[in-house]
A = this chain, B = another copy of it.
Amino acid sequence: MPRAGLDPAAVVAAGAALADEVGFAALSMGQLAERVGVRTPSLYKHVVNQEDLNRRIAALALAEAADAVGAATQGRAGRDALAAAARAFRDFVLTHPGRYAATIGVEPTGPDDPIAVSGSRLLVAFTAVLRGYDLAPHDLDHALRALRSSFHGFATLQSAHGFQWSADVDDSFEWLIDLVDRGLRTTASRQTGRRPGPDRAAAAPGAGGHGARARTPLA
């Protein structure tokens, strides 16, 4: 019985590919073992357990997404850069739905966690897009979150077949890009201070109480 010549990177790459095929939720150690030509327990020589595998797949996906978005924005600015970044991001999610799903809900264990490093790189790639707009410095974080929310939301909904009525999905995505572009271009001189409104307190019951403030300084 010859050795399979595996190493952690090969296992993770195969796991990511398998997740893309069968869906992240359906990824199992048994299937992965069969895929790489080995019995299930042998996988544990390369990854500590399934959660570790998931985290490594997530780190890989974030790094690849950062590369794709970063490459797409090279030499572009303004709306061109925004559209290129958005399309590159969505294309990545649609062609690699399983590994991207692995990134949802993972939390880096610290600033040196590959998940944090690659996640930061992805954010930096999106930040480059914002340089083409005339934003006040204290609006950058908000704009970054808005970008990420919009494109993440669209890509994951489409990936999950969430758009089931008739209008063309690609047209809708271009429309979203335009919406964000117009919103960002009309932002410049705005004040972002929270306006005092009576319904703010009423609308935020604060049931959760899990404030995400001040965790790891990612950006």
Contact = CB atoms under 8 A, between A and B. Distances in A.
Contacts of A203: 72, 84, 87-88, 91
Nearest to A177: B146
A141 interface: yes
Given A88-B203, A160-B104, A176 B146 contact: yes
Contacts of A168: 213, 216-217
Contact of A194 (B96, B165, B171): B171
Contact of A153 (B91, B156, B217): B156
A142 B183 CA distance: 16
Interface in A55-81: 72
A39 interface: no
A152 interface: yes
Interface residues of A, number: 82
Specify how many copies of this chain sit in the oligomer: 2
Contacts of A166: 141, 213-214, 217
A172 B107 contact: no
Interface string A11-31: 000000100110001000000
A141 B84 CA distance: 23
Q: Give the residue among A83, A94, A108 with the most B Cβ atoms within 10 A.
A: A94
Interface stretch (A1-9, A40-48, A184-192): A184-192
A141 B212 contact: no
